[in-house]
Amino acid sequence: MLRTLLFSALLALAGPALAQGFPSTPPEPGPPLPFEIPEGTTFALDNGVDVTLVPYGSLPKADVYAVVRVGNVDEAPDETGRADLLTSLLTEGTTSRSAEQIAREAAEMGGSVSAGAGLDQTFVTGRVLSEFTPDLVRLVGDVLRNPAFPEDAFERVQRDALRGAAVARSQPGTLAQAAFYETLYGDHPYAQVILPDTEDIEAATVDGVRQFYEANVGPQRTRLYVVGQFDEDAVEAAVREAFGDWSGGPGMSQPTPPEAQSGRRVVLVDQPGAAQSNVYVGLPTIDPSAEDYVALQVTNALLGGSFGSRITRNIREDKGYTYSPGSSVSARYRDAFWAEQAAVVTPQTGPAISEILYEIDSLATTAPSADELEGIQNYLAGTFVLQNSSAGGIASYLAFLDLHGLDRDYLEDYVERVYAVTPEDVRRVTEEYLGADDTAIVVVGDRSVVEEQLAPFGGVQITTVQ
């Protein structure tokens, strides 16, 4: 008790002094720190495997990323979800290791190994303590090069995929996303990546997955990134041992980008009794190879891509139509789209969409103030540095640069380019690339309440998501 009284007395005495010395306003942010990546070493094996080794960070760990240029975009119309089945099987065993051995060896190195499919790329990745980096390179090489495709594991993976698809189809937000992709991409493979066809998954066989692997995986489509603290000579020797005698396989492919669609489209997926409408408003836009792409990202952050953005303040804070709206620019090879998404209370579906379109039109005609833009630039620059200040973040971004044919300057100059965007750039980019008249408006909600609200935006197409 005595100690508590003494502490309280000291606080009471110190309070006024602390209040006098504490500034009433936060200090001005300092200049942005440069984002520099060590040059590292890049070389190519005779079979076509490109390798990038980057010493980075101070932690005694390293990340290994094997990236193959194959993804959902390479699936035929009757084999949607095939790339995901493939990557689920890669860690289920090789011709010399069981799934348990793969997991145990990685754990004994202080890390793990995983695999996953993206729209354009497939990844086999791992992170371990530094001294085990060469061993991880060899383990990743075995997982990628020698999958066993065990029949029993395939049956389990297939059941998991079907259960996942069933759960996804019960989620209104996922249905809205799938309907938005179908509206944007039509017959292109990107249209089916959110909800692969259930019949395709049921019809898949382990031989079919093996054939997909043989048709799409090989040294000429593979890049290897090792980032972190490691012995470079030992890692290079391990790379040559693990990947050097890999031969055959397909050549590099350049998937056909989807054709851009224009004009207003309004799509409604009926969900009787829904208390909320899941809304997507968006359109195709420029991809990362375009000069204005960074300016577009700044514009997105100001328009709807941050908590303090205009659309968020409007429909969340001011109107109370939704709790968690947000927008993003989603990029893939030679393609990208911008989209605002929100779960809106059903009676306010139409008004919420009106406000979203209003904010687009407003920014397309009137440049933001310098202060508003500066706040967004600080946010975007800060989150970029934070997200990429890790070995895994660097490896992932290097794979992004290679996919889109960008120089490393894109990464190192990113913060500087963010701050170079002017208010007039934001207005111009909004006008050129986010025209409200070309937006697709997709809603999953109660038709009896929502259809009439959507009518002012254009002819409403009623559809279902299979």
d(CA 334, CA 405): 10
Cβ contact 332:190 at 8 Å = yes
Q: Are 332 and 452 members of one domain?
A: yes
d(CA 211, CA 76): 12
What φ, ψ does residue 163 adopt, rounded to 5°?
-65, -40
Per DSSP, the residues of 50-70 read: EEEEEE--SSSEEEEEEEES-
Q: Is residue 388 part of a domain?
A: yes
pTM of the model: 0.88
Give the chain's radius of gyration (CA, Å): 25
Q: Are 296 and 236 members of one domain?
A: no
Provide the H-helix boundaries in 114-231. 133-145, 151-169, 172-185, 198-203, 206-216
Q: Is residue 23 part of a domain?
A: no
Q: Is residue 4 part of a domain?
A: no
Q: Is the dihedral of CA 35, 68, 117, 153 positive or negative?
A: negative
**Cβ-based neighbours of 222, under 8 Å, separated by 6 or more:** 48, 49, 50, 66, 67, 68, 69, 144, 243
Q: Is residue 250 part of a domain?
A: no
Residue where a domain terminates, one of 210, 244, 278:
244
**CATH number for the domain harbouring residue 187:** 3.30.830.10
Cβ contact 48:68 at 8 Å = no
Q: Are 95 and 234 members of one domain?
A: yes
**Cβ-based neighbours of 193, under 8 Å, separated by 6 or more:** 72, 80, 119, 181
Q: Are 62 and 188 members of one domain?
A: yes
Q: Are 308 and 418 members of one domain?
A: yes
Residue where a domain terminates, one of 211, 244, 277:
244
Instruction: For tokens 């991809």, name the residue.
Output: 287
| Domain of 69, in residue numbers | 41-244
Q: Are 235 and 357 members of one domain?
A: no
Instruction: For the chain, 466 residues long, give each residue's pLDDT as a single digit of tens.
Output: 445 444 455 545 555 555 556 667 766 666 666 677 888 999 999 999 999 999 998 899 999 999 999 999 999 999 999 999 999 999 999 999 999 999 999 999 999 999 999 999 999 999 999 999 999 999 999 999 999 999 999 999 999 999 999 999 999 999 999 999 999 999 899 998 999 999 999 999 999 999 999 999 999 999 999 999 999 999 999 999 999 999 999 998 887 888 877 789 999 999 999 999 999 999 999 999 999 999 999 999 999 999 899 999 999 999 999 998 999 999 999 999 999 999 999 999 999 999 999 999 999 999 999 999 999 999 998 888 887 788 999 999 999 999 999 998 898 899 999 999 999 999 999 999 999 899 999 999 999 999 999 999 999 999 987 6
Q: Are 333 and 191 members of one domain?
A: no
d(CA 187, CA 181): 10
Q: Is residue 17 part of a domain?
A: no
pLDDT digits (tens, 9 = 90+) for 43-61: 999 999 999 999 998 899 9
d(CA 289, CA 313): 31
Assigned token pair, 295: 């300016």
Q: Are 49 and 184 members of one domain?
A: yes
pLDDT digits (tens, 9 = 90+) for 179-191: 999 999 998 999 9
Q: Are 306 and 385 members of one domain?
A: yes
Q: Is residue 458 part of a domain?
A: yes
Q: Are 235 and 147 members of one domain?
A: yes
Q: Are 293 and 362 members of one domain?
A: yes
Q: Is residue 5 part of a domain?
A: no
Helices and strands, counts by H and E, the chain: 18, 12
Q: Are 238 and 278 members of one domain?
A: no
Number of domains present in the structure of the chain: 2
What φ, ψ does residue 464 adopt, rounded to 5°?
-125, 160
Residue where a domain terminates, one of 244, 277, 292:
244
The SS3 assignment for 52 reads strand
Q: Is residue 14 part of a domain?
A: no
